[in-house]
Structure 1
Amino acid sequence: MESSGGTPSCELTDKAKKYDRQLRLWGDHGQVALESGHVCLINASASGTETLKSLVLPGLGSVTIIDDTKVTPQDVGNNFFVESESVGSARGEVTLRLLLELNPEVRGTFVEQPLTEILDNQPDFFTPFSCVVATCLPECTLLTLSKVLWEAKIPLVVVRTYGMIGYLRVQMEEHTVVESHPDNEMPDLRLDRPFPALQKYIDSLDLDSMDHREHSHVPYVVILYKVLQRWIQEHGAAPASYKERKAFAEMVREGMREKESGRGDTIEENFEEGIKAVNTALLPTTIPSVVQSILNEASSITPSPTTKPFWIMARALHEFITSEGRGALPVRGTIPDMTADSEKYIKVQNLYREQAAQDADWVLRRVQEHSQQLGPRKVISSLESSVKTFCKNAHALRVIKGKSIAEEYKGSINLSEIGSHLENPDSELVWYVMLRAVDQFQSEFRAYPGYFQDQVETDIVRLKVCVNKLLADWGCGPIIKDDFIHEMCRYGAAEVHSVAAYMGGCAAHEVIKVVTGQYVPVNHTHIYSAITATSATFSL
């Protein structure tokens, strides 16, 4: 038997088994997006191959490795994807072969050409890629790559390990996220402003006339709404403070019935659930400030053929809120599990689902109207499904507006952020300063500090000059301790595999977020210290 797409159902089952855990994170549509992705890795270093490993295993569609170096004994010591027999062979070719053995469904190619030549002679080379991952690049080459990808609107993830320090930088001009998967998501029950169908159904139920069994199986959304109406009649407004909500919970408890049994009194679990849900279920129906700012921006956009579908849907959503929604977002259509009989729970569940479908249908019609005005070229794929997903997740929309690495390195940097963090001697930001300084050192002396053992003492002095010059350019005093300078010279730009493995996993997470369009990527610099096993993210 075959599915509608023509793929044997047994194959779908096998894939579901293979990718079961990740499908729970980003769903079938997220997996499809990942399998359509094409990622380019620049330099198959330990950090680079660890990043690709964590992309190949979950089923990324295609990978391309650009690397013009040969395998060295140092690679054998820190890179799991090279072998001692391959010393002297093309590193990108060797690592690609071993990486693809992890997942035969992933396709891969290898380019043995210097990146500088590609940047100079093939400006459109990076156009097909969903994302580019760069490792082990000198500062001048990184800045050129940054500029090229920024202008092409292709995301760039820079991952780097330097001794015991890890660095991750995500460069994106604009990244929109519909399915951000927020932590500790609150239910959307609308008890403070129920939609007509829900209010009509709840009003039709009389808790006092129910027998004990029926009374103990009423969904708590019904209980809380009825108690809320009593509370408002007595107090004039919904409970807002902790003290008021505690009193409200006691009012709910007063409506609970007890029944004698051979083992003592039995309580009604639905009422207990309602009491536990008071703090979340009674939250006022509002639009989060982050989402409101997105909607305000969308309302000022005049749709054109180049407008992203996200902004067209956001504009339609804004129009829904100002008219049909009466100041509220569309109903999400999902409710928590509740102790209740199947008939009543399914009835309440369907009321929320039907209202969510009506709200999404209104937004869909507005999106279609906007799309038709833009002509046949502007077609949003899977339009109905996209709008439903957009409306369901409207409370957690996110937009990241980034800064290019080239812009950051040329002086457009958040100096107040740097100054405030450097006042803390334990801040991970000191390692950002040190990495910037060693890059300047490499640009000037054509080697990283400490790389040649017989020059360590000289390099310490030189690196200190680079650090102080960098801080002076930022208007900061010489506040970096000499211990950090000695530490960087001790590393000599070595990659430690355990640090590379950790940073490669972090980088792969960010690539997956970019490719699937789910979860919120780092904005924009992440620093990890294996010395203290701590990390921090900075928006510089």
Structure 2
Amino acid sequence: MASPSPKSPEQSEKTKQYDRQLRLWGDHGQFALENGHICLVNATVLGTEVLKSIVLPGVGAITIVDDKIVTDEDIGSNFFLECSSKGLNRGSEALRLLLELNPAVQGNAVQEPPDQILKENPDFFKSFTVVIATSLGEKTIQDLAQHLWDVNVPLILCRSVGFLGSFRIQMKEHAVIETHPDNEQTDLRLDVPFHALSEYLDSFDIDTLDLKDHGHIPWIVIIYKAVQKWRVNNPHWPMSRKEKNEIKGIIQDFIRKDENGVPINEENFEEAIRAVNTALMPTFLPAKSQELLYCSAATNITKESTPFWIMCAALRGFVESEGKGNLPVKGVLPDMTASTDHYIKLQNLYRTQASMDAEIVYRKVQQIVAQLHCENISEADVKLFCRHAHDLHLISGSSIVSEYQLTSSVASYIARHLEEPDVMMVHYILMRASEIFQSEHCRAPGDWEPEGDIAKLKTCVTKLLSDVSCSPFPKDDHVHEMCRYGGAEIHSVSAFLGGCVAHEAIKIVTKQYKPVNNTFIYDAGSTNTATFTF
């Protein structure tokens, strides 16, 4: 057999460059990122810090929309502008320096204001994977947000002023298949073993094994045999702490002893005792999965349904039929002390069953696609979906326009959170009030006369609080601070927030990990953060 050809130098260099992130989201996640196109509206300090953390991991392309001219203030606070940039277009200059970070990224600069683009060429924003906007007026925010909501393009609205920062993610619907939970539940099926697994487990007789083999059988077998022995007098599956301790006692009795009656140190049996609590978790359909499989979007599939909902419909068919109430086998086996032959054989059993289950779901997907005459879904996507079916996550978002119009539900939500002591919602009110101030006076509060703007900003705050049926703030400390900032961006605050926004954008593009559902607020003065869902 011919030896495989070596990887090309380009590929090996690329893998080396992106090694750490490939460990986080894999080749398919990197592929999605490299096919992503991010649009930034306004290359402010915060905006360029966001793009920096998106360009470095290798996003496919970026477009900066910015009609502003570089000023001395820009050069003093923005690391991606040079002294020679003064008087030139801010977006073009920032793009030039950002692309130096990663030559593989494509870039484009549009020297027009976003409101003009929305008016003359609204389809412009349709082509982007995510739009990130910062330093916009209140009217432009709402116009852009409404348009992106209508065309179903995710929007991340960012703010950075003084020691305060925030971002708001607007998405109609975002399905996450690979959530990467911190503590992923093992899927061993010891309570309902599939046929091949049952045959394998029953093939062992712990009492008759010689000493060498005794110390190399997988702990899954040990626990299964202990449960079998326990169930001779207990017909149900061990669930309580007392019952699990009894299983541990049986495993302890399995351990061989030397001629002096001292237990022989067998690591696989020690592992079995430690694994009892997790291994004996009964197989069940998680409540979140059940909710997704039986919601209207999954039960009423149409030609316009997304691949996620089509796969949910097919998965429901599997659960109700072949799965006998359970999801497909994950096919992932935890590490354990065992002989190589035993471990590989056991691993292949789980992988084979997982592949068979995924194949059934894939056939059901094909049937639905054929009936609806919609776009085909690849087998690889279905396998990935089945592998992570236990931890599916769906975000159903709300529009920024409804938030800005202070609908009754939004107003009551804000009022409820303002009642809590030292709540971060105060900063949300201040940043919203600053936007109102800027719309009325065409400048940030405190930009020209900090002392004179305090009363004006307080009026904006009071109006906002009145709209949500809340009393005015007892003290004006926060208002004074906002005017003292003068609308300035502090680079360290923007750098931190920019990294956070970039993380969320990458989650959205790769469709991995759970993004923040909806609003994140950062107070650099106290280093506190908070999330809110309007």
Tell me the equivalent position of 1:284. Answer: 282
Query: Is 1:528 matched up with 2:518?
Result: no
- Equivalent residue letter for 2:190: L
- C-alpha distance in 2, partners of 1:267/1:186? 28
CA contact (8 A) 2:523 2:529 kept: yes
- Equivalent residue letter for 1:403: S
Tell me the equivalent position of 1:443. Answer: 439
Query: Is 1:489 matched up with 2:487?
Result: no
- Equivalent residue letter for 1:89: L
- C-alpha distance in 2, partners of 1:486/1:278? 59
SS in 2 for 1:218: coil
- In the TM superposition, residue 362 of structure 1 has moved relative to its aligned partner by 0.5
The change in CA–CA distance for 1:116 and 1:260 in structure 2 (over 3 A counts) is farther
SS in 2 for 1:124: helix
CA contact (8 A) 1:402 1:523 kept: yes
- In the TM superposition, residue 514 of structure 1 has moved relative to its aligned partner by 1.0
- Equivalent residue letter for 1:219: P
Query: Is 1:391 matched up with 2:390?
Result: no
- In the TM superposition, residue 441 of structure 1 has moved relative to its aligned partner by 1.7
- C-alpha distance in 1, partners of 2:425/2:258? 62
- C-alpha distance in 2, partners of 1:506/1:470? 28
- In the TM superposition, residue 147 of structure 1 has moved relative to its aligned partner by 0.5
Query: Is 1:434 matched up with 2:435?
Result: no
- What's the TM-score once normalised by structure 2's chain length? 0.95
- Equivalent residue letter for 2:430: M
Q: What is the correspondence of 1:410-429 to structure 2 with a 5 Å cutoff?
A: 410-412=405-407, 413-429=409-425
- In the TM superposition, residue 213 of structure 1 has moved relative to its aligned partner by 1.5
Q: Which deviates more, 181-190 or 326-335? A: 181-190
Tell me the equivalent position of 2:108. Answer: 109
- In the TM superposition, residue 42 of structure 1 has moved relative to its aligned partner by 0.4
> 1:26-84 deviations in whole A, cap 9, x for unaligned?
11111111111111100000100001001110110011001001111111121100012
- In the TM superposition, residue 260 of structure 1 has moved relative to its aligned partner by 7.2
Tell me the equivalent position of 2:26. Answer: 27
* Match of residue 400, structure 1, among 392, 395, 400: 395
> 1:383-416 deviations in whole A, cap 9, x for unaligned?
1101100000000111111011011111234445
After superposition, the CA RMSD in angstroms is 1.9
Q: Which deviates more, 425-434 or 323-332? A: 425-434
The change in CA–CA distance for 1:347 and 1:38 in structure 2 (over 3 A counts) is same
Q: What is the correspondence of 1:287-366 to structure 2 with a 5 Å cutoff?
A: 287-297=285-295, 301-366=299-364
The change in CA–CA distance for 1:537 and 1:480 in structure 2 (over 3 A counts) is farther
Tell me the equivalent position of 2:270. Answer: 272
- C-alpha distance in 2, partners of 1:299/1:323? 20
- In the TM superposition, residue 266 of structure 1 has moved relative to its aligned partner by 4.5
> 1:316-347 deviations in whole A, cap 9, x for unaligned?
00010011000100000001011000111111
* Match of residue 376, structure 2, among 367, 374, 379: 379
Tell me the equivalent position of 2:455. Answer: 461
- Equivalent residue letter for 2:386: C
- What's the TM-score once normalised by structure 1's chain length? 0.94
SS in 1 for 2:158: strand
The change in CA–CA distance for 1:229 and 1:37 in structure 2 (over 3 A counts) is same
- C-alpha distance in 2, partners of 1:487/1:30? 42
CA contact (8 A) 1:231 1:238 kept: no
- C-alpha distance in 2, partners of 1:92/1:120? 20
Q: Percent identity?
A: 51
SS in 1 for 2:423: coil
- Equivalent residue letter for 2:494: A
- C-alpha distance in 2, partners of 1:437/1:212? 75
Tell me the equivalent position of 1:95. Answer: 94
- C-alpha distance in 2, partners of 1:260/1:85? 85
Tell me the equivalent position of 2:193. Answer: 194
CA contact (8 A) 1:430 1:480 kept: no
Q: Which deviates more, 505-514 or 223-232? A: 223-232
SS in 1 for 2:68: coil
CA contact (8 A) 1:298 1:314 kept: no
SS in 2 for 1:228: helix
SS in 1 for 2:126: coil
Tell me the equivalent position of 1:124. Answer: 123
- C-alpha distance in 1, partners of 2:50/2:491? 12
